[in-house]
Amino acid sequence: PFINLDYMVYMFKYDSVHRRFEGDVSAKDGKLYIKGKGITVYAEKDPANIPWKEAGAEYIVESTGVFTTIEKAAAHLKGGAKKVIISAPSADAPMFVCGVNLDAYDPKYTVISNASCTTNCLAPLAKVVNDKFGIVEGLMSTIHATTATQKTVDGPSAKDWRGGRAVNNNIIPSSTGAAKAVGKVIPSLNGKLTGLAFRVPTLDVSVVDLVVRLEKPTTYDAIKGALREASQSPELKDIIAYTEDAVVSTDFVG
């Protein structure tokens, strides 16, 4: 790994999206300090070599995008971790989305997936609409901000030719597994949704557009009302927000 402590300090202080961090950031005695709080840092390619127990870390967020199966992510357990949460879709780990299916969580699980950012946007929306009106079938489109795997100039991309095109001046069609993933967290929607993605040259904030055929007759205002009501419910008030303001994407940068 090429990210040393001094580089971590720099990256935390200066960010092209979230701008400059105003608090104190420094490195000392092998630790990263943010606002005076020390953070133990390890640099290991194999998660099994990280002594989590020694650091007092019990719950690990696996966000490298590399160790996304139960077997690979479970390597963290060898160092003393108790639970691992994969911050990406997984081929075999149980998948959970807040506000959607946390009631299905079993404490026996040691490795789980929190799905993708797109699934975390789509699933609560689909749940509200499905619970209220019933979804027969649907198409999801996401207009997705640039990601780190994309290229600044045209380059080779064997598996996805479009994905090798320059990101700064293109709208790039891409695939997404978010619609299928919804079927994993909402079994009643399994096989009912499909989706596609468009990568666009923005740094942050993405959009999901969901078009559905419903079981029950309804109106546009009734659908909006259901979402507004859900955004105020105890289960979803911290997950869904509702606005009719004339906002644009940068208004949602956290």
Any idea which residues carry the catalytic annotation? 117
Candidates 103, 101, 85; CA nearest to 93 is 85
Phi first, then psi, for residue 119 (nearest 5°) are -65, -35
Beta-carbon-side half-sphere exposure of residue 65 (alpha carbons within 13 Å): 5
In whole angstroms, give the CA distance from residue 59 to residue 104: 19
Q: Contact 54/83 with Cβ under 8 angstroms?
A: no
Q: Contact 100/189 with Cβ under 8 angstroms?
A: no
Distance from the Cα of residue 169 to its chain's centroid: 25
243, with CB counted inside 10 A (0-12, 13-18, 19+), is exposed
Distance from the Cα of residue 177 to its chain's centroid: 12
Residue partners of 173: CB distance under 8 A and separation at least 6: 162, 196, 197, 198
Distance set, CA 49 to CA 3, 4, 78, 109, 185 (Å): 17, 17, 8, 22, 32
Q: Are strands 207-214 and 25-28 parallel, antiparallel or unpaired?
A: unpaired
